[in-house]
Amino acid sequence: MRQRASNSGNARNSVDHSTRDGADIDSARLAQHENWLAENAEAIRRENEHTEQHGLPLADLRQF
């Protein structure tokens, strides 16, 4: 997680992980996202299928 200097001007206590550690964090988030998609793929497929068959929930209440 990136930490930024506060507005108090005390830059000595700030930590900037925007280069190497930022890439590590992005890689970890991507892996977590891909795992979540894999774990939930069947539920997502079923929900999409249900929506295709029955339409969006509360669609009759939409005013646009």
Q: In the chain, where are the structural domains located?
A: 17-52
pLDDT at residue 3 in the model: 47
Q: Is the pLDDT of residue 9 over 80?
A: no
Q: Is the pLDDT of residue 1 over 60?
A: no
pTM: 0.54
pLDDT at residue 26 in the model: 94
pLDDT tens, residue by residue, 16-53: 555 567 788 899 999 999 999 999 999 999 999 999 99
- In sequence order, the 6+-apart residues with CB closer than 8 A to the CB of 28 are none
